[in-house]
Structure 1
Amino acid sequence: MRITNLARELWFRAFCLLCLLPLGLEAQQKSDTITNKVHQLQDVTVKARRTPQRMAVASPLQTINRKEIEGLGLQNMGDAVRRFTGASVKDYGGIGGLKTISVRSLGAEHTAVAYDGVAVSNCQAGQIDIGRFSLDDVDLLSLSIGQDNNLMQSARLFASAGVLSVYSRNPLDGTQKSHLLKAQLKTGSFGFLNPSLKWVQRIAPRTTYSISGNFLRADGGYPFTLINGKYTTKEKRKNSDIQSWHTEANLYCTLKDSSRVDMKAYYYDSERGLPGSVVLYNDQANERLWDKNFFVQTRYKKYFSQQWALQLQAKYNYSWNKYEDTDVKYEGGKQTDRNKQQEYYVSATALYQPFAGFSASLATDVAVNTLDNNLPDSPSPVRFTSLSALNIRYRWKGLTATATAVNTWVTEHVKQGEKPADRRRLSPAFSLMYRPFAEQSLYLRLMYKDTFRVPTFNDLYYLRMGNTGLRPEKAREYNVGITWNGAPFSFTDYVMVTVDGYYNKVNDKIVAFPSTYVWKMMNFGKVDITGIDVTLRTGMSVSDRLQLLFTAGYTYQKAIDVTDPTAKNYKEQIPYSPKHSGNIGLLAENDWVNLGYSLTGVGKRYSLPQNLVENQIDGYLEHTLSASRSFLLKSCKLTLQAELVNLTNEQYDIIKYYPMPGRSFRVTGRIEF
Structure 2
Amino acid sequence: MNHFFKTLLISACVIFFAPADAYSQSVSDTIGLPEVVVTERFSDREIRSTAPHHILTSDQIDQLNALQLSDAVKHLPGVTIRDYGGIGGLKTISVRSLGAHHTAVSYNGIPLSNEQTGQIDIGRFSLDNVERLTLHNGQEDHIFRPARSFAAASVLEITTAAPRFTVNSRVNGKATLRGGSFGLINPSLLFNGKLSEKVSATLSGEWMSSRGDYPYLLRYGTSASDSTSRERRINGDVHKMRLESSLHARFSDRSRGDLRLYYYHSERGLPGATIYYNTLHDSGQRLWDRNFFLQGHFEHAFSRRWELQAYGKCQRTYLRYLDPSYLGAEGMIEDIFTQYERYGSLSALYRACNNLSFSASADLISATMHANRKGFVTPTRLTSYTVVAAKWVSERLLATASLLHTQPFESAASGVAGSNQSRLSPYLSASYKPLQGHDLRLRVFYKKSLRLPTFNDLY
Same-fold call, TM cutoff 0.5: yes
Q: What amino acid is the match of 1:342?
A: Y
Deviation at 1:397, TM superposition (A): 4.2
- Report the counterpart of residue 85 of structure 1 in structure 2: 77
Q: Which residue of the other structure, out of 333, 352, 355, is the alignment partner of 2:353?
A: 355
- Report the counterpart of residue 215 of structure 1 in structure 2: 207
- Report the counterpart of residue 525 of structure 1 in structure 2: none
- Report the counterpart of residue 399 of structure 1 in structure 2: 397
Map 1:559-638 to 2 at 5 A. Answer: none
Q: Which residue of the other structure, out of 236, 239, 242, is the alignment partner of 2:238?
A: 242
Q: What amino acid is the match of 1:87?
A: V
- Report the counterpart of residue 95 of structure 1 in structure 2: 87
1:295 pairs with 2:311: no
1:162 pairs with 2:158: no
**Range with bigger deviation, 311-320 or 213-222:** 213-222
1:446 pairs with 2:437: no
Deviation at 1:279, TM superposition (A): 5.0
- Report the counterpart of residue 176 of structure 2 in structure 1: 184
Q: What amino acid is the match of 2:392?
A: Y
1:275 pairs with 2:271: yes
Deviation at 1:174, TM superposition (A): 6.5
- Report the counterpart of residue 32 of structure 2 in structure 1: 33
The secondary structure found in structure 2 opposite 1:139 is strand
Q: Is the 8 A contact 1:97 1:240 kept in 2?
A: no
The secondary structure found in structure 1 opposite 2:62 is helix
Deviation at 1:257, TM superposition (A): 4.3
Change (3 A) 1:81 1:281: farther
1:432 pairs with 2:430: yes
Q: Distance in 2 between matches of 1:131 and 1:32?
A: 51
Change (3 A) 1:217 1:152: same
1:61 pairs with 2:50: no
Q: Distance in 2 between matches of 1:175 and 1:273?
A: 48
Q: Which has the higher helix share?
A: 2
Q: Is the 8 A contact 1:125 1:456 kept in 2?
A: yes
Which deviations, in whole Å up to 9, do the C-alpha atoms of 1:489-523 show, x marking residues without a partner?
xxxxxxxxxxxxxxxxxxxxxxxxxxxxxxxxxxx
Q: Which residue of the other structure, out of 173, 197, 201, is the alignment partner of 2:193?
A: 201
Deviation at 1:183, TM superposition (A): 1.4
Deviation at 1:175, TM superposition (A): 5.6
Deviation at 1:395, TM superposition (A): 2.8
Change (3 A) 1:396 1:286: same
Q: TM-score, normalised by structure 2?
A: 0.87
Q: Is the 8 A contact 1:53 1:63 kept in 2?
A: no
1:370 pairs with 2:363: no
Q: What amino acid is the match of 1:434?
A: Y
Q: Which has the higher strand share?
A: 1
Q: Which residue of the other structure, out of 324, 332, 339, is the alignment partner of 1:334?
A: 332
Q: Distance in 2 between matches of 1:238 and 1:303?
A: 57
Deviation at 1:214, TM superposition (A): 1.4
Deviation at 1:153, TM superposition (A): 1.3
Q: Distance in 2 between matches of 1:105 and 1:280?
A: 34
Which deviations, in whole Å up to 9, do the C-alpha atoms of 1:25-80 show, x marking residues without a partner?
xxxxx965269xxxxxxxxxxxxxx8736211001111111122222111112211
Q: Distance in 1 between matches of 2:104 and 2:227?
A: 44
Q: Is the 8 A contact 2:405 2:423 kept in 1?
A: yes
Q: Distance in 1 between matches of 2:446 and 2:137?
A: 11
- Report the counterpart of residue 52 of structure 1 in structure 2: 43
Change (3 A) 1:423 1:328: closer
Q: Which residue of the other structure, out of 410, 413, 416, is the alignment partner of 2:411?
A: 413
- Report the counterpart of residue 561 of structure 1 in structure 2: none
Which deviations, in whole Å up to 9, do the C-alpha atoms of 1:65-116 show, x marking residues without a partner?
1122222111112211111111111112533111011111111111111111
- Report the counterpart of residue 108 of structure 1 in structure 2: 100
Q: Which runs of 5+ in 1 are unaligned?
A: 1-29, 36-49, 462-673
Equivalent residue pairs, number: 418
Deviation at 1:171, TM superposition (A): 3.1
Q: Is the 8 A contact 1:404 1:430 kept in 2?
A: yes
1:319 pairs with 2:317: yes
Q: Is the 8 A contact 1:172 1:179 kept in 2?
A: no
1:231 pairs with 2:227: yes
Deviation at 1:228, TM superposition (A): 2.7
Q: Is the 8 A contact 2:115 2:367 kept in 1?
A: yes
Q: Is the 8 A contact 2:337 2:371 kept in 1?
A: yes
Q: Which residue of the other structure, out of 129, 139, 154, is the alignment partner of 2:131?
A: 139
The secondary structure found in structure 1 opposite 2:404 is strand
Q: Is the 8 A contact 1:58 1:445 kept in 2?
A: yes
- Report the counterpart of residue 140 of structure 2 in structure 1: 148
Q: Distance in 2 between matches of 1:453 and 1:179?
A: 44
CA RMSD of aligned residues (A): 1.8
Deviation at 1:278, TM superposition (A): 3.7
Change (3 A) 1:459 1:88: same
Which deviations, in whole Å up to 9, do the C-alpha atoms of 1:392-450 show, x marking residues without a partner?
11234412221111100001111111112211000111101001123222111101100
The secondary structure found in structure 1 opposite 2:228 is strand
Change (3 A) 1:31 1:301: farther
Q: Distance in 1 between matches of 2:394 and 2:172?
A: 46
Q: Distance in 1 between matches of 2:328 and 2:120?
A: 29
1:379 pairs with 2:377: yes
Q: What amino acid is the match of 1:256?
A: S
Q: Distance in 2 between matches of 1:172 and 1:368?
A: 36
Q: Distance in 2 between matches of 1:377 and 1:51?
A: 53
Q: Which residue of the other structure, out of 234, 239, 252, is the alignment partner of 2:248?
A: 252
Q: What amino acid is the match of 2:433?
A: R
Deviation at 1:276, TM superposition (A): 2.7
Q: Distance in 1 between matches of 2:324 and 2:150?
A: 42
- Report the counterpart of residue 9 of structure 1 in structure 2: none
The secondary structure found in structure 2 opposite 1:451 is coil
1:266 pairs with 2:262: yes
Change (3 A) 1:76 1:396: same
Q: Distance in 1 between matches of 2:423 and 2:220?
A: 51
Larger Rg: 2
**Range with bigger deviation, 74-83 or 395-404:** 395-404
- Report the counterpart of residue 16 of structure 2 in structure 1: none
Q: Distance in 1 between matches of 2:203 and 2:188?
A: 11
Q: Distance in 1 between matches of 2:313 and 2:427?
A: 27
Which deviations, in whole Å up to 9, do the C-alpha atoms of 1:456-475 show, x marking residues without a partner?
001110xxxxxxxxxxxxxx
- Report the counterpart of residue 460 of structure 1 in structure 2: 458
Deviation at 1:186, TM superposition (A): 1.0
Change (3 A) 1:168 1:176: farther
Q: What amino acid is the match of 1:357?
A: N
Q: What amino acid is the match of 1:346?
A: G
Q: Which residue of the other structure, out of 125, 128, 140, is the alignment partner of 2:120?
A: 128
Deviation at 1:256, TM superposition (A): 2.1
**Range with bigger deviation, 320-329 or 118-127:** 320-329
Change (3 A) 1:280 1:111: farther
Q: Is the 8 A contact 2:141 2:400 kept in 1?
A: no
